[in-house]
Structure formats: C-alpha cells, structure tokens
Chains A and B, each alone.
Chain A
Amino acid sequence: MENKSSTRAQEAQNSRLIHLEGSFEDWVLDFIAAEGFTLTDNQQEASQTYKINDGRLFFDTHSSGPNLFSSGIPLNKNNLKCLINFHKLSRNKEAHNLGKIKDLKLNLTNQQRRLVKTIFKKHLTPTGLDEVIKTSEEIREIDDFYSHFDSIHSLPRSIIEMDLFKGFESCQVIVHQKGKMFCDTYYYVSGLGDQHKVIPVESFNSTFSLIKKSKSKKFNQSKLLKEDIGILGTFMANVFSIKNHDIVFIVSQNGFLPPTKEEINLFDTFCSRIGSVFDFLLQRNEVSEKSQNVNILLMNYPHPVAILTSKDQILFRNRLFDEEVFYEFLDTPDRFQTWKLIKDHLLVSRIPDSTKNISDIYHYQRVSLLGELLNTLQHELSNPLFGLKLTAELLEMEHEDEEVKETLSEIASNGQRCLGIIKNFSYLYQDENFTDNVEIIRLIQETVILTKSESRQVQKLITHDGLPEDFTIQTNPTWLSQILFNLIVNSSQAIKTITDDFRPHQIHIDISKSDRDLNISVSDSGPGIPDGSLADVFSPFYTTKDKGTGLGLSICNNLCLKLGGRLNYSKSPLGGACFTLSIPLEKVTHDQNTTH
C-alpha cells in the first residue's frame, strides 16, 4: 500500500519533468518554469521530451516513439504551451471535464477548437496519446490548408496548383446544399481557368451515389459519363457529406492512363484532410450568402433604412433612404435615433430602444401636427382678435357712457386674453431643439389652462413654497409643458373614474427645489395605481383607459430623460397617484446615447 502510494507520488513528480535537446533561448526555460514544469537531463525520467532545432520544435513521447512531428512546429510560446498542456492533460483524468479547455486559453481558430474538443472527448487517455498527436498534426496541416484556400470558388484552382497535385490538370467540386433544387459546380482546368455552373440536383444525386458506392474511387467516362462532369479521361473522385452539404470532389490528369497506386494513396490521404476544408469554406460561403440575403431584404425594406457607423457615416442605405432628410435630421439627434435601427457593421437592432422609438415617433408626429395646426390658428385668429381688441380700445376712448366704456374694456381685455392663449400655445409647441429661460410657475399656470377641457370640475392647487413667482430655469418649454399636460390630464381622467364619491377632488401641483434639481410633483385624489401595475406604467401601450393609447406616460418618461431629468411615481397624500418630475437646475448638455 505504502509502496504503491510512493510510486504514484514519484509518477506525479516525474510527470512534471521535461527533457530538452538542442540549443534554445532563455525564455523557453522561463516559460517552462512558469508553467510549473522542471527541466531534467535524464530523458528516461522525463515525461516529455522536446528537440529544438533551428527555431523549430520537435517532440516525441516515450509511449509512441520518436519524431512524430517530422517537420516540427515553429517554436513559440503558444505552440509550446499547447504541447505542454496536451501532455499534462493527457495524464490527468480530470481533463475529461471539458471545462478545463477554457483554462487552457489556447489561441486557436474555431476549427482547431472543435478538433481539440473532439480530442478531449474521445481520445484523451494515456494510451490515446498517439491519436492526440496525430490530430494535432492534422490541425497544423489544416492550418496550412487554410492559407491556400480562400473560397470555394477558387478551391479547384488552389488544389491543382498545390505541389501535391503536380501532373494533375483539372479539378471539379460539386456542392449541393441540402434541400436545394440546384447544385453549384466549381471547375478548374489548367490553362482554361475557373468555371462556375449551376446544375439540377437529379444529375448530382446519381453521380454522388455512384461515387459513394465505388470502392476504388477510380473512374472514367465509360463508368460515369455525365455532361455535368467536365473532367476528361480517367479521374479519381470522392464524396463528402458534411452538415448541410453533399460534395463531389474530382481530380484528373486529363489522360487515359489509370492513376498509379501512389496517386490513389495521395488522393485518399488528401481526401481525409480536405473534408474539414470544405466545411470551413462552405460555412464561410454560407455566411456571405446570408449577408447577401440580408442586403436584398434591407434594400427592399418598405421603410428607410441605413447602416451607420457610430460617427453617423452611411455604410449602407436602401432605396427609400433619403440622404438629405438624413442630414437634416442629423442636427436633431433625438428624432434621428429612430433611424439608427442598425448600428455599425453588425446587423444588430437595438431592441431596448425600439419601444422607446415608438413613443418618440408618436410624440413627434403629434407635436408636428399640432405645430402646423397652431401656425394656421395663430394667423387666422390673431388678426381678427387684434382688430377686435384695437377697435374696442378705440371706442372705449371715444365713448362717454360708463357702462358702454366698461363693456368695451371687457371686449378688449377678452381679446387680449385670447391673443395671449394663442401665443402661449405656439410657444409651447416650438421646434424640438429649443431651450429658453422658462418662468416655471407661469408655464405651469398656462399648461393648467390648456388642460381645462379635461380638468374642468377638479380644483387645481399650485404651490411653490420658498420659490419666487418668477423663478426661471433653462429648459425646453415644449417638452416640460407636455409632460405636465399629460400628467394633469391623466390625473383628471383618473379622478373622473370615481363616480361613487362626491367629495371635492383636487390636483395638487407642487414646485420645490433640492440641491441640484427642480422637482415638480403632480398628485391627485384619484384612485391611484394598483401596486401590481406599477412596473408597467411607463411602458408603451400600457393603459387602463378605454380610449387610451398607452403612450402618454411613456412619452412623458422619454421627454423627461431628454430634459436630463427623471420621472418617479409615489403614492399621493391625497389618496391617488403622485408623479414627481425632477429636472436639473443647471442645464445639462443632452447626450442622446445615455439611455436609462
């Protein structure tokens, strides 16, 4: 028992010994030490032996004989680390736990990563080390492969141009994407260049099954004569089935002599490697096909769409996208946000913003419509009202009769009041990007007047303890008034839902100042908001009203954020709801990217 455990301890110690042959730089020593290994001169007791020669790393293991990597791999930290850890893990049963792979943090391509996973899953036992190394070799060779092949289109050419296929004249790759009616055939003949054809799937299917059934993989036109196969003379062929594709792969010397044994061997070996290349290239091809489809989709999308860099440069625009409109909107970034469905190169739609955009668009439409309406009204009403007022004033001066004078004076002052209302209306529906020094209490009073049709029977109380009557703040009067308008109308409508209660109802608007913020609270004696719905009140399309759009509070909330402030809900001391709007006293430059 004791003996056994001491052997195990010895083994564990030995498993961290490395034997190095050849000359190497100091960093190799440091690196090995940093990985927790020790160098030993005794090759017998070391678990790993490496030879270093001319900047390349060769290695063998005791279990599988020398020089498995006959050509070696470049000596660098990554490769060394990779190898050391392969060995370490191969002796560690816990390595079966795939979580360990993450710890390795190998700098691998996806292809390599997948292979590494397969290795760990299937082969990672001390006796399976052979296979581990073989597959590592495969990884390296595939890497070399990848550097040759950039696309499925040029694959036949690349194969023919390889030293390996010296003497071969033509190569054909026929690809069928599962489920499609047609196949692509990529064909290369030395001196004739690349050709691409589309052939029906029926032709492909018979060729595919014929080659699959053949054991020798040797063919000539008497065996397989298809016009879709462009190869002349005898040829070697193989088929592959990978994830979404079936592939026929053909090479020929364009001669009539049958291929030699060596050539068949070469072809077989090559076929065992090329599968993963197909996989790699087709996946890449599929990605580009996908992006083409997305391109077509976006191009014909029934709304203006552009893909922008974060610096508002247009990378892509579809048919409906008007650049002039875009640049017009650029100065008003808040409106423009709705265009930014897709940002940068990534086709990522900004989902959290999309609901916000709905309220934004709705709000913008409403304001611009009202703005137009008000312009017309302002002109059509101001003129006659001004005439009325001026005439009344004149007549008042001319008349002696006190009663007539008084009436005329009332006509004049009513005219003046109407003119004032129209003017204030227009002021409250200014362009979006308008800030002004706003007398807050006056603005609230005017807004309250605008809500009169909804809030007629409700008593409104405005308090501003400690704030002077003419307290001003720099802000956007349009937005501020609209927030308050919405809140007051909401409160009035909520109060109206109470029918069994004849106590006098009230909306209390309180203005107060804290260190940094101006707080305006609108509280009412209505039914309030049930606790269960609190989370939804600011979401678009949430409504409890029969005729509501559910956008009111969502718009308020957005406008509030645009003002650099926030909108909070609490229970009102009057029994109903209380919304408190806090906006900064100092004007904050509005950063449209700040989303809350």
Chain B
Amino acid sequence: MIKILLIEDEKLLQKSLKKLLEKRGATVDVESSGKGAIEKIKSCNYDRIICDLMLQDISGFDVIEESKQRYSIGQISSKFIIITAYGSPQVHARAEEYGCKILTKPFQDNTEALNTFLTIEE
C-alpha cells in the first residue's frame, strides 16, 4: 500500500484529494503547514509527498530543502510532487533542479493526475 503525505492548506482541496487518493487504495496523511510537514516526514516513511508550493508559512521548495538537509534521506526530493496554481517557467525549472515532478492546479485531467501521484518509480 502506498503511503502518501499530502501538504495542502486549502481545506476543500485537501479533503477531496485525500478522498480521491484513498479511493485508489493509498494511505494518506494530510498536513496544512510546511513546518508541520517537515516534522511528519521525520517520523513516517512516505512513498510519496504531494506538496503545495505556496503554503502559509514556507514554500514547498523550502520543505524539500529542509527535509533533505535534516534527514539526509537519499533521493528524498524524487518522492516529492509539487502542485501549484502558479506554474511559471521559473518554478518549473526549480522543480526540475530538485528532480521532482510538478503539476499545475486545476489539473487538466483528474484521473491522470491521480495516476501520477500513485505511480512510484523504483
């Protein structure tokens, strides 16, 4: 069973995405703040971390950076998928630097987005 951490501060979106992912058989933890997410990443071993870019406290990239440094988990950034409503070329370039996927909200195709979230490359 895939274990997912969903970091999203928009409550409705958080709820609905959680539900959709659970329907597809994943275990989903949710978190609204970036700092809270970093704490969660420490204790639980997630297969996938879906992270909103513009959180209330810190940015999604800060979450990646902090997790990388604090836990020195190899390839942790490849577990991240950034979701954002503001998909500028700079943001895409930065995501590429970290080697993580990026999806723009609203998703073009919900099913396809879910597939991306649930596919774990070895």
Residues in chain A within 8 A of chain B (CB atoms): 375, 378-379, 382-391, 393-394, 416, 419
Q: In the complex, which residues of chain B have a beta carbon less than 8 angstroms from the beta carbon of A386?
A: 10, 13, 85, 105-107
| Contacting residue for A387 out of B10, B54, B110, CB 8 A | B10
Q: Does B45 contact A (CB under 8 A)?
A: no
In whole Å, how far is A481's beta carbon from the nearest beta carbon of chain B? 21
Q: In the complex, which residues of chain A have a beta carbon less than 8 angstroms from the beta carbon of B52?
A: 383
Q: In the complex, which residues of chain A have a beta carbon less than 8 angstroms from the beta carbon of B42?
A: none
Contact between A391 and B16, CB atoms less than 8 A apart: yes
In whole Å, how far is A371's beta carbon from the nearest beta carbon of chain B? 12
| Contacting residue for B16 out of A375, A382, A394, CB 8 A | A394
Contact between B86 and A375, CB atoms less than 8 A apart: yes
Contact residues on B (Cβ < 8 Å of other chain), bracket: 10 to 19
In whole Å, how far is B113's beta carbon from the nearest beta carbon of chain A? 10
Q: How would residues 1 to 41 of chain B score, 1 for a CB under 8 Å from any chain A CB and 0 otherwise?
A: 00000000011111111011000000000000000000000
Q: A379-B54, A419-B106 are in contact. Are A390 and B86 (CB under 8 A)?
A: no
Residues in chain B within 8 A of chain A (CB atoms): 10-17, 19-20, 52, 54, 85-86, 105-107, 110
C-alpha gap A127/B10 in the complex (Å): 105
- Most central of B14, B16, B19, B107 by chain A CB within 10 Å: B16
Q: In the complex, which residues of chain B have a beta carbon less than 8 angstroms from the beta carbon of A416?
A: 106
Q: List 23 A-B contacts (CB under 8 A).
A: A379-B54, A379-B85, A379-B86, A382-B85, A382-B105, A383-B10, A383-B13, A383-B52, A383-B85, A384-B12, A384-B13, A386-B13, A386-B85, A387-B10, A387-B13, A387-B16, A388-B12, A390-B12, A390-B13, A390-B20, A391-B16, A393-B16, A393-B110
In whole Å, how far is A208's beta carbon from the nearest beta carbon of chain B? 72
Q: In the complex, which residues of chain A have a beta carbon less than 8 angstroms from the beta carbon of B13?
A: 383-384, 386-387, 390-391
Contact between A378 and B85, CB atoms less than 8 A apart: yes
Q: Is the interface of B mostly helix, strand, loop or mixed?
A: helix
C-alpha gap A581/B20 in the complex (Å): 49
In whole Å, how far is B70's beta carbon from the nearest beta carbon of chain A? 27
Q: Is the interface of A mostly helix, strand, loop or mixed?
A: helix
In whole Å, how far is B82's beta carbon from the nearest beta carbon of chain A? 14
Q: In the complex, which residues of chain A have a beta carbon less than 8 angstroms from the beta carbon of B15?
A: 387, 391
C-alpha gap A416/B105 in the complex (Å): 12
Nearest 7 A/B pairs, CB to CB:
A387-B12, A387-B13, A382-B85, A390-B16, A386-B106, A391-B16, A379-B86
In whole Å, how far is A382's beta carbon from the nearest beta carbon of chain B? 4
Contact between B19 and A383, CB atoms less than 8 A apart: no
C-alpha gap A383/B19 in the complex (Å): 17
Q: In the complex, which residues of chain A have a beta carbon less than 8 angstroms from the beta carbon of B19?
A: 394
Contact between B17 and A390, CB atoms less than 8 A apart: yes
In whole Å, how far is A363's beta carbon from the nearest beta carbon of chain B? 23
C-alpha gap A6/B19 in the complex (Å): 123
C-alpha gap A391/B17 in the complex (Å): 8
Q: In the complex, which residues of chain B have a beta carbon less than 8 angstroms from the beta carbon of A379?
A: 54, 85-86
Q: In the complex, which residues of chain A have a beta carbon less than 8 angstroms from the beta carbon of B107?
A: 386
Q: In the complex, which residues of chain B have a beta carbon less than 8 angstroms from the beta carbon of A384?
A: 10, 12-13
In whole Å, how far is A312's beta carbon from the nearest beta carbon of chain B? 26
- Most central of B10, B14, B106 by chain A CB within 10 Å: B106
Q: In the complex, which residues of chain A have a beta carbon less than 8 angstroms from the beta carbon of B20?
A: 390, 394
- Most central of B13, B14, B20, B52 by chain A CB within 10 Å: B13
